[in-house]
Amino acid sequence: MTIEAALKMYPPTAEQQMVLDSGHKPSVSGVLIELFARAMNTDPETKEEWKADWAKKSQRKWMPVFYMDDNNGFSFDFSDCYVTSSSVGSRHCFEDEASSDYAAKAILDTWKDFIIQ
């Protein structure tokens, strides 16, 4: 999966396109990550989209965790799985660890622009 492929699967809404056209890096990155995550969570054969059910504590929700330091800069660290309860806002999450790992590594620069710009 690439961002380009995700945009073909899920063309931006009018509101998302306005954000993309704005050039505001963190906002543009947020829209790109949203569409990429949606495409990653869609079965390519059935076109069925997996969505996190935040009310279902037994459902695993995988999300990438990033690391930043003076020596290595910004990098993907690992994927983690949390139960529904959280002290932070909702995140883009994935059905399994492999998808979360891939999503982090495939668009690392986009995550960086979203998180630290």
Q: What is the pTM of this model?
A: 0.84
Under 8 Å between Cβ of 112 and 96:
no
* Per-residue pLDDT tens digits for 18-65: 999 999 999 999 999 999 999 999 999 999 999 999 889 899 999 888
* pLDDT at residue 113 tops 60: yes
Under 8 Å between Cβ of 76 and 101:
yes
pLDDT band at 83 (very low <50, low <70, confident <90, very high): low
Alpha-helical runs (H) found in the chain: 3-9, 14-22, 25-40, 97-106, 108-116
* pLDDT at residue 85 tops 70: no
**What pLDDT does 10 receive?**
96
